[in-house]
Chain A
């Protein structure tokens, strides 16, 4: 992701940033804008930071328990385990007893160093925190060592720390962190704490780094937004327009008001809100509201029409909007040559809108009292949520408190520039007022029909080969909506999210003539990042095109890639390709009945190779064994890297097999899991993960497991003798499509 979610830079934090003395004070300042009387005990920030000497990321309790504060939300990625392990490693804390806590919203203390705002995305949680948490852990350790040295009157250099116990061997003295915490808190934090040599890591990169939340999530006690119950809380649902861009013309609330438990019905900017004593009453009330919609400004085009318009643009039709222009994202050599010669592959690819369909439908709790507000939800960009809330209630952003809970998935959906569902909740809570908590619940149908989809995308690709069978000229046209258009920083000069992965591809690097361009027409359908963003389609186009070219050239797909990676100097790709091919047994025949396909893609700083074994069952591709090799730099939590490869592969496969949001005359057709089919137990592959050893800083794992599986399946189908795949999903006739 560019601009807003650009690749994290890793500045060495200044002393104040690393240790956060000032930041803790800033955290305290968040309280000022709120009315303590009305919000009462819910002000979790009112608790005093007893051990703020160790900065915003580390707390040490009197019993020695270390708590690592995560500035990033945990919605499945396992980042809380990895973040805690980084700090624990440098601190030599007792990992088994260590706890993780979610940070409040505080742009000063908790900004993502790659974004400038507090937020989780672009698979950057670990990578942007790497040096920050190493420094924080090392500084805290040094403070304990110094405290022990002073207390015991021994040289600091002779003191060692292990599992939260500080020892001086010669004198036999030892004490756990808790016994020393009062003294350690008074030690001036070191300017430049000494960091460990990674070779001496005892926690990072080991199987000991396991999730801290598995027990809570296996007993139903992990707390999600849906689970929030507060005194006098109202539950809200909203009647939303049937088409994007429509507004309320008028409404009749008389039937809704008769539903027992319904407290109020009123219009807000996004529809008609019903607030009730409980969820079921809100649901019945909402369904009873009769709304007349003003659709004059609504998007009435269907996805078929949009696809036809995108296709026409790629084929050379002049854009209707004069301001709309093609922009090159890669160009080399004589472009006219890219259109000439005999094409080895000349094809188009179509990708549908996709819903994120996280398991927890979108929800938010808001409390508004005059100009003060508190949000409680799975906030992915808390400081943007602060900003949007502040605008609605008329407050300074820093005065808005945000309590971030676990979220039941997000996959990008909760990182919304407009804070769509959270802002809707704030509007409702503002109307209710007086500090009365409001929980907004979207039904699955509300969630799925609300837009912010992975955009519809069309690619046109034409490639000629040289006499050795390798690409000589590559022409590519990409048509899609811009995700970055809604950015609070404004539309960037070039929206990388539309082409990342095609842009920068080693295949283009290895090709002498390249003419690759993108155009970003508008549509009234809101779009957003969807786990792995541009790579959701560019990986498919590049990787499936390569297999078609290899086939034309009569070469093995792995061998063909090896030559191209050597030409492009793509060493990391070559390494993961070789590792995956080796582990998958590429050189040996696949098990009877199965056919292998391969794909390699780089995203979010990591490179992943997939080798998938595929067969057709009743005409649907079924994926069995999948071998994944990943280079993600230093793997902090190897088992969670594996978990993300398993989950990313399933998420990508689900969309590749079944995922599509269809609009008919502007109306979303798939509104629940009966229409939007997703991968189930009996369709799930078995993923084996192999991590390339690396001493480089860590890079992303939450998203990079997604892009490669779809082209690996398409390539297996190609190897099986099936025609090239020119559109996703693979399974087209199911549910609604099969019925019509």
Chain B
């Protein structure tokens, strides 16, 4: 069947069963592969996109539920958003597989809470697993992108020179 979705500001028609999770429409139909599959049961956050600004798990949201929502994916961030700049500046990614989801959750966080505390970051981000353990750099990058200072004990500046 045909469903019309609003993705990254564009109306797109997709041919897919109504129960198809948004994730597979994004990845397989629209080839927006920045959004990742990690668990399929709303546990890991790798598939996070925004629906009307709110983070949702696209693996567990059928397209039928999204006909009137404005959906934004990692591809819409453009690469020079403050969060992405901070991500690169801090060399946040390791394997990188979780990072699209992390960035979308962080984007939603900053839209709502421009200067989040550590606790607010934990609360907003704990649905996003990173098996590589980039958590402290994610926190640092969110702080940096939101114009807050943060300690950088992890960085090589302190590491190399003992």
Contact = CB atoms under 8 A, between A and B. Distances in A.
Contact of B92 (A214, A220, A679, A690): A214
Interface in B117-152: 121-123, 125-139
Nearest to B74: A220
A218 B132 contact: no
Contact of B77 (A211, A219, A226, A679): A219
A408 B36 contact: yes
Contact of B136 (A220, A687, A692): A687
A678 B34 contact: no
B159 interface: yes
B34 A221 contact: yes
Decide if the interface of chain B is mainly helix, strand, loop or mixed.
Answer: loop
Nearest to A627: B153
Contact of B88 (A206, A215, A639): A215
B128 A260 contact: no
A55 interface: no
A358 B162 contact: no
A24 B98 CA distance: 36
Contact of A75 (B16, B44, B95): B95
A538 B29 CA distance: 48
A579 B162 CA distance: 9
Given A213-B96, A357-B131, A406-B96, A280 B16 contact: yes
Interface string A52-79: 0000000000000000000000011110
Contacts of B154: 642-643, 646, 686-689
B38 interface: yes
B129 A211 contact: no
A278 interface: yes
Chain B contact-residue range equals 35 or more
Nearest to B27: A279
B136 A684 contact: yes
B55 interface: no
Contacts of A358: 95, 97, 131
A590 B60 CA distance: 44
A732 interface: no
B158 to A, nearest CB: 7
B143 to A, nearest CB: 12
Most chain A beta carbons < 10 A, residue from B16, B87, B131, B139: B131
Contact of A693 (B36, B97, B138, B162): B162
Interface in A112-148: none
Nearest to A229: B31
Nearest to A448: B39
A288 to B, nearest CB: 14
A651 B162 contact: no
B156 A218 contact: no
A206 B155 CA distance: 11
Contacts of A357: 131
A12 B63 CA distance: 59
A679 B34 CA distance: 23
A638 B159 contact: yes
Nearest to B29: A278
B58 interface: no
B131 A217 contact: no
B40 interface: yes
B20 A280 contact: yes
A617 interface: no
A698 interface: no
Contacts of A207: 155-157, 160
A651 to B, nearest CB: 6
Contacts of A214: 87-88, 91-93
Interface string A616-658: 0000000000000000000101111111001111110010000
B159 A690 contact: yes
A541 to B, nearest CB: 23
B36 A226 contact: yes
Interface string B29-53: 1011111111111011010000000
B159 A77 contact: no
Interface string B76-98: 01010000100110011111111
B129 A359 contact: yes
Interface string A198-233: 000000011100110111111111101011010000
Interface string A340-383: 00000000000000000111110000000000000000000000
Contacts of A650: 130, 132-133, 135
A442 B133 CA distance: 23
B107 to A, nearest CB: 12
Nearest to B129: A678
Contacts of B36: 224, 226, 359-360, 408
Nearest to A629: B162
B136 A646 contact: yes
B21 A673 contact: no
A284 to B, nearest CB: 8
Contacts of A27: none
Given A219-B77, A673-B43, A693-B162, A409 B132 contact: yes
A260 B132 contact: no
A303 to B, nearest CB: 22
B41 A684 contact: no
A673 B127 CA distance: 11
A406 B44 contact: no
4 closest A-B pairs by beta carbon, nearest first, are A220-B34, A650-B133, A408-B97, A217-B96
Interface of A: 75-78, 205-207, 210-211, 213-222, 224, 226-227, 229, 235, 260, 278-280, 357-361, 406-409, 411, 441, 443-444, 579, 635, 637-643, 646-651, 654, 672-674, 678-682, 684-693
Given A226-B27, A411-B131, 17 more contacts: A76-B94, A210-B91, A218-B84, A220-B33, A260-B17, A357-B131, A358-B97, A406-B96, A441-B37, A635-B159, A637-B156, A642-B155, A673-B44, A681-B138, A686-B136, A687-B136, A690-B159
